[in-house]
């Protein structure tokens, strides 16, 4: 599988100037090619091919007086910028035509030197890892890198980025073998929340660290200092960098904590099931700051790729599965409950449930049911499954995903509840899986 390894880079003054020139040239090529395609579309002309753009906006532009400085950077940087534009258009067209899954992708936009992130991408012809620990970048030089860990194989591509706080990073793409962990007999369902970040079906509770909330006091002070500085002054630039560095520290701490928690969960369980949360929708509510501070999407993405890497099974249940409304003991739907209700008693069987613990148990049961039902129907429906034999599928109430390498079905046998008839007109709407 392809993995990305990020390292902190420390270019000297001359190398910073060379990188700034490379960032600017890649940005100009992107904007010129994007402008040509937009103007052709507005005029009703055919889509401008990449070969034509490469000839006009890179090869011929270097010979003109106004674009002669494009020759000062590596040609690989300019060609990769055009390829990135092609990839952006491919994603946009695939989203419009319905060929690309997920939320709709916007068309490519113009880049600015004021963007918070500047980057260039190079293939193996334009960089090399030196024996003394530096990385040679074409027409930039040997850049010092802080190697926090060794690369498992020779990298195939390199992305050099500068963030808003002035830090430089090198991101290597490496083709590595899977690191399959020993098979376990444990499965877990995860209920994500705000007060408690994650509640596992085995009873484990992971508290929310709230990195942004803890840094708010210092961020407010730095932001007030930034607002007092005159626009366009050097002091305002210094104050902006201080604010950006504080935000970067918060993001780094959150990312490191996500990696630690997700790795532990994947190592301790053979199968992991989570709910497909509508984070983009929750990010527009009054809980937006807390939702973004928790970083659910990043955490779930880490679980998914680490399941593939270590040979675990990862599944998402549908986002409309009523995990907080159904009794995990008897399977009766007790109805919706406001967020302030943390404990409730089932009116059918009398069981007292903690809201989060009950949701994690229902997530585990729904994930097992989806996994079993998909494995039984994959051969009949000829569904393409990204797993061994028939261990994948889709949930009837949502769009779940499955990842990893399932080796066998562990745990109890799970099946769907037989639908009840309503006045003889058809099945009842509830299709929640239960354990027998």
Active site residues: 191, 275, 356
- CA-based torsion, 419, 421, 426, 429: positive or negative: negative
Separation between Cα atoms, residue 227 and residue 204, nearest integer Å: 44
Do 35 and 115 touch, CB atoms closer than 8 A?
no
Distance, in Å, from the CA atom of 230 to the CA atom of 244, rounded to the nearest integer, reads: 18
Report whether 416 contacts 431 (CB < 8 A).
yes
Q: Which helix (H) or strand (E) holds 315?
A: strand 313-317
Question: What's the CA gap between 287 and 85, in Å, rounded?
Answer: 35
Residues whose CB falls within 8 Å of the CB of residue 325, separated by 6 or more in sequence, listed in order: 333, 334, 335, 336, 337
Contact present, 400 and 368 (Cβ < 8 Å): no
β-strands 313-317, 271-275 pairing = parallel
Rounded to an integer, what distance in angstroms lies between the CA atom of residue 294 and that of residue 292? Answer: 5
CB 422 within 8 A of CB 428: yes
Residue identified by tokens 């249940």 is 317
Measured distance CA(271)–CA(369) in Å, rounded: 13
């Amino acid at each position: 599988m392809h993995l990305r390894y990020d390292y902190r880079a420390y270019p000297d003054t001359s190398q910073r100037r060379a990188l700034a020139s490379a960032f600017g040239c890649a940005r100009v090529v992107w904007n010129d090619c994007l402008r040509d395609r937009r103007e052709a579309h507005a005029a009703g002309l055919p889509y401008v091919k990449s070969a034509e753009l490469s000839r006009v906006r890179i090869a011929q532009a270097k010979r003109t007086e106004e674009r002669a400085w494009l020759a000062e950077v590596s040609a690989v940087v300019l060609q990769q910028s055009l390829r990135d534009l092609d990839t952006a258009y491919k994603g946009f067209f695939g989203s419009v035509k319905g060929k690309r899954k997920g939320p709709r992708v916007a068309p490519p936009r113009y880049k600015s030197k004021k963007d918070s992130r500047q980057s260039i991408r190079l293939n193996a012809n334009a960089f090399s890892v030196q024996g003394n620990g530096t990385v040679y970048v074409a027409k930039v030089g040997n850049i010092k890198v802080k190697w926090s860990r060794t690369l498992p194989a020779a990298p195939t591509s390199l992305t050099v980025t500068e963030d808003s706080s002035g830090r430089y990073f090198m991101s290597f793409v490496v083709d590595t073998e899977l690191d399959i962990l020993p098979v376990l007999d444990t499965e877990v369902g995860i209920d994500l929340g705000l007060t408690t970040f994650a509640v596992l079906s085995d009873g484990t509770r992971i508290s929310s660290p709230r990195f942004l909330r803890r840094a708010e006091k210092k961020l407010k002070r730095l932001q007030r200092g930034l607002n007092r500085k005159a626009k366009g002054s050097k002091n305002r630039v210094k104050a902006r960098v201080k604010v950006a560095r504080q935000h970067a520290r918060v993001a780094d701490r959150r990312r490191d904590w996500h990696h630690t928690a997700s790795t532990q969960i994947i190592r301790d369980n053979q199968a992991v099931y989570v709910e497909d949360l509508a984070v983009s929708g929750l990010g527009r509510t009054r809980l937006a700051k807390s939702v973004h501070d928790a970083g659910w999407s990043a955490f779930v993405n880490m679980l998914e790729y680490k399941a593939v890497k270590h040979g675990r099974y990862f599944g998402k249940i549908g986002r409309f599965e009523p995990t907080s409304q159904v009794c995990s003991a008897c399977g009766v739907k007790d109805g919706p409950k406001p967020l302030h209700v943390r404990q409730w008693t089932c009116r059918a069987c009398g069981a007292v449930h903690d809201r989060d613990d009950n949701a994690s148990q229902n997530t585990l049961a729904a994930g097992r049911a989806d996994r079993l039902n998909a494995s039984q129907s994959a051969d009949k429906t000829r569904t393409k499954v990204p797993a061994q034999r028939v261990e994948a599928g889709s949930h009837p109430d949502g769009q779940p995903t499955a990842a990893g390498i399932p080796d066998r079905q562990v745990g109890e046998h799970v099946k769907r509840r037989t639908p009840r008839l309503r006045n003889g007109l058809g099945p009842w709407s509830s299709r929640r899986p239960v354990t027998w």
